[in-house]
A = this chain, B = another copy of it.
Amino acid sequence: MNEMTFPLRTDGTECLYEQIYEHIKKEIKAGKLLAGEKLPSTRFLAEYLQVARSTVDYAYGQLLSEGYIESRPCKGYFVCPIEDLFQLEDIEEERQRDIGGRISGGLNGRPPLTQPETAADRSSGTEAHEGADANCCFRVDFSPYEIDMSGFPFSVWKKITKNILTFANSELFARGEAQGDYALRQTIAKYLHSSRGVNCRPEQIIVGAGNDYLLMLLEKILGRHVRIAMENPTYKRSYKIFRSFAYHITTVDMDEAGMRSDKLEQADVSTAYVMPSHQFPTGTVMPIGRRMELLKWAGGAERYLIEDDYDSEFRFHGKPVPALQASDRHGRVIYMGTFSKAIAPAIRISFMVLPDTLLEKYLKTCSFYSCTVSRIDQSILNEFIRDGYFERHLNKMRKLYRVKHELLLECLQPLQDRFAVSGENAGLHLLLTSRSGVPEGELVRKAASQQVRVYGLSESMVEDAADSATVLLGFGGLSEEKIREGAELLRRVW
């Protein structure tokens, strides 16, 4: 317990939860808490430090999310083995120096569950995931791909648009830079740095009309015959896109930490596509240990990690988990984000951050491709982010989604003896797995008999969609009333 003895400032100048979290992280990285070592129980530590137990719970929760510690059922919390601790130390220090205040600030000791952070603290680009066919026969469609459009900041968007068209000179209607307007790239770089820990210069950013397009451009940069690893299940749209290229796709097994690095080492691939902040569809948050393993894999040769940070904005518990790119020292991560999910699918603005080696290739071989986003739209988005509207919008949406998220969890409570709920840490959907192994097909059919649409996990499976007993329930696009109605119908029929 020596490692747990540290001066806790209780004068209110520093957040208690933060202090505990930072202290334990530091001890782990300094090698004072060793891999496999057991941490004191939350109850014990709370008493010891004379703080509320929930404060320790949140500190442990954050360490868990980021993969510094793990929880063993009925045994307690243990320190995780972490690849390349020394390197991690450097990176972390650098990150703290750069953005520490922002990444860790702002909670004032209150648990994050009831106090949303500022938008800049946890948001990033996202991709609206594949829209399922609209089917008007359903009374309730638990689509995991829909977002809540009622929250669209209509009047602000209109105001900015009007101003831009009023004050704009004809320049705005002329051809812009191939990578996107520099002003917007500056704004994005700043935003990514403060909210996601991403380290990049505006020069590394390429703005494009949607992730699909950017992946097409990336194909031109990476070359035509990439051997790529994907998780299974994964984001099916990206899978289809890679398949439409000449890419050779290998699926790599997942465990509860995401893509298995040992399996990745064995696979004959040069690139891996991952969603470390919130894997789709499983909701897995990749812990820091696994991240370091993947980075080590990529650093060992000319390999790349494509990080699709599609919905990191919508994390409801704990602090934002930084991007994988934030820990990348060797320029192996291609970071992709979008504003389609956080603002509106119609806002066709995504971006990718290229490491320098790939930036060079892009400039040599692809920079003649015109930017696919109009300068007017770029200017509107730039003002929207720059003037703080995006942050406010994210806060609003996060609250709105949290309410729905908790409502759905609550409504599904009566089903918990028959179903295990997972993916509840982030994003706009939950996963329900039948404890008795009822196949997903049956679950989907039964739901459909009540005019409720749920989504089988196998829809996101790349190969041998085995015998899944898991369905996805999205809540982003549903009103509270519809969530209640849908859950009630499911309770009746399942």
Contact of A161 among B131, B161, B348 (CB under 8 A): B161
Contact A213 B175, CB 8 Å, known A157-B165, A165-B158, A377-B377: no
Q: Which residues of B contact A161 (CB under 8 A)?
A: 161, 165
Contact A368 B220, CB 8 Å, known A128-B175, A173-B346, A175-B131: no
Question: What are the interface flags for A262-305 relative to B under an 8 Å C-beta threshold, 1 for contact and 0 otherwise?
Answer: 00000000000000000000000000000000000000000000
**A32: interface (CB < 8 Å):** no
- How far apart are A173's CB and chain B's nearest CB, in angstroms? 4
B212 touching A369, Cβ below 8 Å: yes
A345 touching B175, Cβ below 8 Å: yes
Q: Which residue of B lies closest to A150 (CB)?
A: B170
Contact of A152 among B128, B170, B212, B244 (CB under 8 A): B170
Instruction: Give A224 to B223 CA distance when docked, in angstroms.
Output: 13
- How far apart are A474's CB and chain B's nearest CB, in angstroms? 14
Instruction: Give A244 to B362 CA distance when docked, in angstroms.
Output: 11
Instruction: Give A170 to B220 CA distance when docked, in angstroms.
Output: 35
Extra contacts, 10 of them, besides A346-B374, A346-B376 (Cβ < 8 A), are: A131-B175, A149-B174, A158-B162, A162-B162, A172-B346, A209-B209, A209-B348, A224-B224, A224-B246, A348-B371
**A241: interface (CB < 8 Å):** yes
Copies of this chain present in the complex amount to 2
Instruction: Give A64 to B365 CA distance when docked, in angstroms.
Output: 42
Q: Which 6 A-B pairs have the closest CB atoms?
A: A209-B372, A173-B344, A175-B345, A149-B170, A173-B346, A158-B165
Instruction: Give A213 to B215 CA distance when docked, in angstroms.
Output: 12
Q: Which residue of B lies closest to A219 (CB)?
A: B216
User: What count of chain A residues pass the 8 Å CB interface test?
Assistant: 50
Instruction: Give A439 to B374 CA distance when docked, in angstroms.
Output: 39
**A176: interface (CB < 8 Å):** yes
Q: Which residues of B contact A240 (CB under 8 A)?
A: 368
B244 touching A173, Cβ below 8 Å: no
**A254: interface (CB < 8 Å):** no
B348 touching A173, Cβ below 8 Å: no
**A347: interface (CB < 8 Å):** yes
Instruction: Give A375 to B220 CA distance when docked, in angstroms.
Output: 27
Contact A344 B241, CB 8 Å, known A210-B372, A212-B370: no
Q: Which residues of B contact A209 (CB under 8 A)?
A: 209, 213, 348, 372-374
Contact of A344 among B174, B345, B368 (CB under 8 A): B174
Question: What are the interface flags for A318-356 relative to B under an 8 Å C-beta threshold, 1 for contact and 0 otherwise?
Answer: 000000000000000000000010001111100000000
A173 touching B345, Cβ below 8 Å: yes
Q: Which residues of A (152-180) have their CB < 8 Å from a CB of B?
A: 152, 154, 157-158, 161-162, 165-166, 170, 172-176
B176 touching A346, Cβ below 8 Å: yes
Q: Which residues of B contact A131 (CB under 8 A)?
A: 175
Q: Which residues of B contact A212 (CB under 8 A)?
A: 369-370, 372
Instruction: Give A237 to B365 CA distance when docked, in angstroms.
Output: 12
- How far apart are A240's CB and chain B's nearest CB, in angstroms? 5
Instruction: Give A131 to B130 CA distance when docked, in angstroms.
Output: 35
Instruction: Give A31 to B375 CA distance when docked, in angstroms.
Output: 54
